[in-house]
Amino acid sequence: MKKLISITALIIFSLGIVSCENSQTNTSKETQINPTPSAKIEPTKETSITTLLPTDTSQKPTTKQPEIGTIKEMVNGDIMCYVTLVDEKGIEHNVGALFEICAEQATFLNKKVRAFYEIHSVNDCESAEPCGKSREESLIAKLEILSEKS
C-alpha cells in the first residue's frame, strides 16, 4: 500500500511539473507571436473585395513615366544620366536614362521626343564606388525625335 501511494504521488508530481513547463512555454510563445492587438477590417457595402486583399509589397509602386515630351536638361550623374523632360501638359519630370543618352545631348536638347524605357540594374551605393548593392530602375534606353506635326 505504501508503494502504491508513493508511485501515485510521484506520477502526480511529474504531471504537475510537466504542465507548469507547458504553460510557461505557451505564454512566452503568445507574447512573441502577437505582442500588439491587430485592427479588424470590416467590409462595407462601398468597399470592394479587391481593396481587402493583401497586396504584393515586393514590387515597387510604379509612377507613370512620360513617353512624349521636350528635353530641357541632361546631366551625367554617378549612377545614371538624369534627364529633365517636360510633358505635353507642361509638367516637368526628372527621369533616369542610360549614359549613352547623355552622350547625345546635342542631338536631343530642346527637342520633342518619344522616350522608350527599359529596366536596368544600377549601383545602390552612397558614392560612385562599387559596394556590391544594386537596384532595378526604369531608365530611358532610347529617344526618338518627333516631327513638329505630331
pLDDT tens digit string along 25-66? 444 444 444 444 444 545 444 444 444 444 444 444 445 889
Residue 16 domain-assigned?
no
Please give the Cα distance from 1 to 101 (Å, whole number).
97
- Whether 53 is covered by a domain: the verdict is no
Instruction: State yes or no: pLDDT of 109 exceeds 70.
Output: yes
Q: How many domains does the chain have?
A: 1
What is the predicted pLDDT for the residue at 55?
44
Domain residues for the domain of 95 are 68-145
Of the chain, the percentage scoring pLDDT greater than 70 comes to 64
Q: What is the mean pLDDT of residues 61-80?
A: 85
Query: Is this model's pTM higher than 0.85 or not?
Result: no
In a domain, 82, yes or no: yes
Inside any domain, residue 74: yes
N residues, the chain: 150
